[in-house]
Amino acid sequence: MDWLELHIDTSPAGLEPVETLLSTLGIDGVIIDDQGEFETFLEENRQYWDYVDEDLRRQMAGKSRITFYLERNEEGFALLGQVRLALEDLKARRQDCGTLLLTMEDVADADWESNWKQYYRPMEIGERLLVVPQRLREDPKVLSALAQGRVELVLDPGLTFGTGSHATTRLCLQALERLVQGGERVLDLGCGSGILSIASLLLGAGEASACDIDDKCLDVAYENAALNGVGRDRYTVLAGDILSDEALQARLGEGYDLVVANIVADVILALAPAVRRYLKSGGAFLCSGIIDDRAEEVAQGLRENGWEILETRQSEGWFSYLCR
C-alpha cells in the first residue's frame, strides 16, 4: 500500500487546534514535533546526558509540526482536499497558528496539482466575478458563464491561502465589484494567493500592490497574476511584516484609493492606526476575516482610531467592514 506523508507547520499554540481539526476529519494517528516539548524533555532528563548535538538543536529550533499519513489513492487525495480547505478556515479564524503550511514528502508538485485541486471548482461570486481553477478554463459551464458577461479570475492557489471558497474572501470580492470603478490604486495586505488584488485589476483598477508576511506568497501571487494577463508593470508583490518593517512600509508608498485586508481580528486592530498613511484623501479601508464574536470589538477599535464604518457585511458567521 502506498502512503502520503504530510506535514503541517504551525506554532506551539496551533498544535492543539490542528490536531483537533484533523481528528474531526477522522485523522487521529499523528506525530507531533515541537521545540518546547523537546526542550522540556532535555531538561527533565538532564541526568542522562551531558551533551546535545547542536545540529539537532538547530533542526528543532522554532519547530511545531504535525505529521500524518493518508493512503495514496482517490479517497486519500479527497481527504487531503478537505484538510486543505479546513486549514484555510482555521487560518482565517486564528492568528496564532503560524503558517499552517501543508507539505508532502516524496510527492512531486505535479501530483499535488493534479490531485487535491480536482476538488476545487469554479465559483460565481457576486454579480460579475467567476473564479476559475486553471485546469477548468475550457469547461463548457465556464465558457457559458463568461459568454454571459462574467469576469474570469483564473486562480491556482498552490500552497498559499485564498481560493474564494471562504466567506471572508467572498465578502471582499463582492465589495470590490462595487468599489472598483476604474483606474484605482489598490493595496492588498495579507495577500495570500493574490486573489483580491488580482481581482481588483481585472475589475478595472489601474495598479495594485500586495504584501504578505509569508514569502511563499510572492511566487504564487505573481504566477496567478500571469495566468490572468496581469504584468509586473501594474502589479507588485512584497513580503514582510507590514506592522514592523519600515523598509517595507516605505516601498509600499502611499496614495492608494483602497486598502483591503482579509486577515484576522487582532491584525486588523493593529492595522487600524497604521493604514491611513497608505490612503489618499477620501480613500477607503476594506477589512475582513472577523469572526462574529469579535465583530463588535473590531468595530469599536476601528471607530476609536478615527474610522467611520460605511458598510457592514456578514456571511456564515464572518464580518467585513468598509471604512473611511
Q: What is the rounded distance in angstroms from the CA atom of residue 167 to the CA atom of residue 32?
A: 30
Q: Worst-scoring range by mean pLDDT, 91-105, 193-207, 245-259, 308-322?
A: 91-105
Domains and CATH numbers, the chain: 3-116 (3.30.70), 159-323 (3.40.50.150)
pLDDT in tens, 84-101: 889 988 988 888 898 898
Beta bridge partners of 64: 34
pLDDT for position 76: 87
Lowest mean pLDDT among 32-41, 72-81, 170-179, 193-202: 32-41
The one-letter amino acid at 157: P
Q: Write out pLDDT tens, residues 257-303.
A: 999 999 889 899 999 999 999 999 999 999 999 989 899 999 999 99
CA separation for the pair 180, 202 (Å, rounded) = 10
Say if CB 198 and CB 221 are below 8 A apart. yes
- pLDDT tens for 103-135 read 887 554 445 445 555 556 788 999 999 999 888
- In this structure, the strands spanning 207-212 and 235-239 are parallel
* Element housing 64 (H / E): strand 64-71
